[in-house]
């Protein structure tokens, strides 16, 4: 429950000033060093309470038309309802009072589709501005390639915002504050490990509270042993690594256990959100050069269709689309599908539909951008087969020692006879598979070791076996 303690201060919404406590033990920020830092203002409070009282979160300009902030700043924490774009104004400028910031309207709000209110997982959203700020200075989100060096354990990072500066009362700065922090080990951000910084022993969050895959823990300690942390009102603001032109947005203020306590602050891990930021057009447009290297394609046969997975070497350039062709060599007939590249480097996928089972197709892929197309990939041969489509695991939990219970959707036999339809689990770190035949939507498997397992639905017919995508579960001991 630690995760939610700080969030709904005014009912359902992230804290607004006046009701919530704000960076503790920070410094006055040099405004010129944070030109992309913005404040989020509750539009309909300004008339009554003024801008200063109506600030409730922070954000960062990542392009002239986009602000990156926390999803919990735009999604009602009780109802899950998204704020209206007209309800939020973006404030430009270091001060909330004398002078007040320049206010910019918001045209669209896009929270991550993977945001989970309960755990604050993937706590990120993009605000698309109603106008383009052509003179804007922006901060670039870190890529998964840059992240390992910029967010290595012990790296110096900074956070900035107009949040509470006090742990005992409510004290809000008119000008944003900066907190100088250090990146904590992942073990403090989901494995309950403690960490000593500047003579202070910090406690870690356990796996029920934090997930280091999508969260990053950080805190600082002053020369006199005071903890430096973000606080209420700082949410949505940046965690920054690197200096000058090399500075990158590596985190977003998300949650904590009180402020400046014996726990680090928790930040959304931006490197894990790069595909979402690309889809919301919140990344600076990379320069497109002629693609001289072909992508590679692998193909998984299904009944009447082929699932193509396309990868382009990271140094081959920036592609904006992939196209995959399947040719029937006997007739010359062509079918195709298109995929969008993912900046995380995760392979892109698309499915070519309407194919004949038993026909061996020649499959090739090309990558394209504004400069033209890449060479064509090496062809692969693939034959759609009437394999059964395995059902999917909808929920998977371990209610008792050694036991898992899955809820599954039915396997589709695709006109064939199933020889097996099974739930299969094996230890994530390797080991023997445990199998049980599926007889209904609720499947129970017992006798598992108390470690993390990966489970799939496996559908077998005369043409072969197919596994559903795996789900993880920690088996109780």
Query: Contact positions toward ligand ARG, by CB under 6 A?
Result: 6-7, 14-15, 163, 229-235, 253, 255-256, 259, 265
Q: Give, for 51, the enclosing helix (H) or strand (E).
A: helix 46-54
Q: How far is the CB of 265 from ligand ARG (least distance, A)?
A: 3
Query: Which residue of the set 39, 54, 72, 303 is catalytic?
Result: 72
The residues near 5 (Cβ < 8 Å, ≥ 6 apart) are 257, 258
Query: Which residue of the set 15, 54, 95, 123 is catalytic?
Result: 123
Helix or strand or coil: residue 435?
A: strand
Q: Give, for 268, the enclosing helix (H) or strand (E).
A: strand 265-269
343: region left, alpha or beta (phi > 0 left; psi from -120 to 50 alpha): alpha
Question: Hey, which residues does 89 pair with through a beta bridge?
Answer: 41, 105
Of 65, 265, 94, 232, give the one whose Cα is nearest residue 165.
232
Assess contact for 140 and 249: CB atoms under 8 A: yes
**Cα–Cα distance for residue pair 29/337, rounded to 1 Å:** 50
Name the burial class of residue 280, with classes exposed (0-12), middle (13-18) and buried (19+) by CB atoms within 10 angstroms of its CB: buried
Query: Which residue of the set 112, 235, 303, 468 is catalytic?
Result: 235
**Cβ nearer to ligand ARG, comparing 260 with 299:** 260
Helix or strand or coil: residue 366?
A: strand
Q: How far is the CB of 126 from ligand ARG (least distance, A)?
A: 18
* Torsion of Cα atoms, 379 then 380 then 386 then 387, to 10°: -140
Q: How far is the CB of 249 from ligand ARG (least distance, A)?
A: 17
Maximal C-alpha separation, the chain: 79
123 is catalytic: yes
Pairing of strands 215-221, 227-228: antiparallel
* DSSP string across 133-182: -TT----EEPPTTTHHHHTSTT-EEEEEES----SSS----SB-EEEEEE
**Cβ nearer to ligand ARG, comparing 6 with 274:** 6
The residues near 404 (Cβ < 8 Å, ≥ 6 apart) are 396, 397, 398, 425, 444, 445, 448, 453, 455, 473, 475
**Cβ nearer to ligand ARG, comparing 6 with 382:** 6
312: Cα separation from own chain's centroid: 22
72 is catalytic: yes
**Cβ nearer to ligand ARG, comparing 259 with 459:** 259
User: What is the torsional sign of CA 26, 28, 34, 38?
Assistant: positive
**Cα–Cα distance for residue pair 318/321, rounded to 1 Å:** 9
**Cβ nearer to ligand ARG, comparing 235 with 468:** 235
User: What is the torsional sign of CA 257, 259, 264, 268?
Assistant: positive
The residues near 464 (Cβ < 8 Å, ≥ 6 apart) are 385, 387
Q: How far is the CB of 271 from ligand ARG (least distance, A)?
A: 19
Q: How far is the CB of 161 from ligand ARG (least distance, A)?
A: 8
**Cβ nearer to ligand ARG, comparing 263 with 276:** 263
Q: Which residue numbers are catalytic?
A: 72, 123, 235
């Amino acid at each position: 429950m630690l995760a939610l303690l700080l969030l709904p201060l005014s009912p359902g919404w992230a804290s607004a000033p006046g009701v919530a406590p704000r960076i503790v033990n920070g410094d006055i920020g040099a405004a010129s060093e944070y030109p992309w830092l913005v404040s989020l203002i509750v539009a309909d409070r300004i008339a009554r309470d003024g801008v200063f009282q109506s600030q409730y979160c922070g954000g960062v300009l990542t392009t002239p038309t986009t602000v990156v902030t926390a999803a919990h700043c735009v999604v009602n924490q009780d109802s899950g309802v998204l704020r209206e774009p007209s309800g939020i104004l973006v404030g430009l400028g270091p001060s909330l009072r004398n002078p007040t910031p320049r206010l910019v309207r918001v045209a669209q709000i896009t929270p991550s589709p993977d945001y989970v209110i309960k755990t604050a997982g993937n706590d990120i959203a993009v605000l698309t501005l109603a106008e383009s700020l052509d003179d804007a200075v922006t901060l670039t989100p870190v890529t998964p390639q840059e992240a390992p060096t910029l967010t290595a354990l012990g790296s110096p990072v900074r956070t900035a915002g107009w949040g509470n500066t006090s742990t005992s009362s409510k004290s809000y700065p008119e000008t944003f504050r900066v907190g100088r922090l250090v990146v904590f080990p992942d073990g403090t951000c989901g494995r309950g490990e403690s960490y000593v910084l500047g003579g202070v022993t910090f406690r870690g969050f356990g796996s029920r509270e934090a997930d280091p895959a999508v969260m990053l823990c950080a805190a600082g300690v002053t020369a006199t042993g005071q903890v430096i942390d973000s606080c209420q009102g700082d949410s949505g603001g940046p965690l920054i690594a690197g200096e000058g032109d090399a500075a990158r947005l590596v985190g977003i203020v998300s949650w904590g256990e009180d402020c400046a306590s014996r726990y680090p602050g928790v930040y959304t891990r931006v490197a894990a959100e790069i595909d979402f930021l690309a889809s919301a057009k919140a990344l600076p447009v990379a320069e497109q050069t002629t693609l001289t290297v072909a992508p590679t394609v692998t193909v998984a046969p299904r009944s009447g269709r082929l699932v193509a997975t396309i990868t382009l070497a990271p140094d081959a350039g920036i592609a904006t689309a992939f196209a995959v062709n399947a040719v029937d060599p006997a007739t010359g007939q062509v079918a195709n599908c298109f995929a969008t590249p993912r900046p995380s480097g995760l392979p892109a996928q698309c499915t070519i539909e309407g194919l004949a089972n038993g026909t061996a197709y020649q499959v090739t892929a090309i990558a394209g951008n504004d400069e033209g197309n890449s060479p064509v990939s090496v062809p692969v041969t693939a034959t759609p087969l009437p394999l059964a489509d395995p059902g999917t695991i909808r929920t998977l939990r371990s209610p008792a020692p050694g036991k898992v219970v899955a809820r599954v959707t039915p396997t589709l036999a695709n006109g064939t006879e199933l020889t097996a339809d099974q739930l299969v689990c094996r230890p994530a770190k390797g080991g023997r598979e445990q199998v049980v035949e599926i007889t209904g939507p609720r499947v129970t498997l017992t006798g598992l070791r108390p470690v993390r397992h990966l489970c799939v639905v496996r559908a077998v017919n005369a043409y072969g076996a197919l596994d559903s995508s795996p789900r993880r579960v920690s088996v109780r001991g």
